[in-house]
Amino acid sequence: MLKLKAYLATELPRINKTLDAEVAVLHPLVRPVAEHVLRAGGKRLRPLLTLLTARALGAEGSGLFRKKSGTDLYPLACSVELLHSATLLHDDILDGADLRRGLPAAHTVFGQTETVLAGDALLALANRIVARYGDARLTETIAEAIVQTATGEIVEIAHQRSTDHGHDAYIEIITGKTAWMLRASCELGALAAQADAEAVAAAAGFGLNLGIAFQIVDDALDFAASSKDTGKPVGGDLREGKLTPPLIYYLETLSPQERDDFVTRFRQGTFDDASVAAVTADLRARGCDAKTRELAGTYLDKAAACLDALPDTPERRILRQSIDYVLNRGA
The residue-averaged pLDDT of 303-312 equals 96
pLDDT 10s digits, 130-183: 999 999 999 999 999 999 999 999 999 999 999 998 899 999 999 999 999 999
pLDDT in tens, 107-125: 998 999 999 999 999 999 9
98, pLDDT greater than 90: no
Q: Which domains does the chain have, with CATH numbers?
A: 2-327 (1.10.600.10)
116 vs 37: CA distance, rounded Å: 12
Q: Quick one: 119 exposed, middle or buried, by C-beta within 10 A (0-12, 13-18, 19+)?
A: buried
What is this structure's pTM? 0.93
Cα(327)–Cα(296) distance, integer angstroms: 7
Question: Which residue type is seen at 260?
Answer: D
Q: Mind giving me the DSSP string for 275-322?
A: HHHHHHHHHHHTTHHHHHHHHHHHHHHHHHHHHTTS---HHHHHHHHH
Tens-place pLDDT, residues 23-80: 999 999 999 999 999 988 778 999 999 999 999 999 865 445 544 344 699 999 999 9
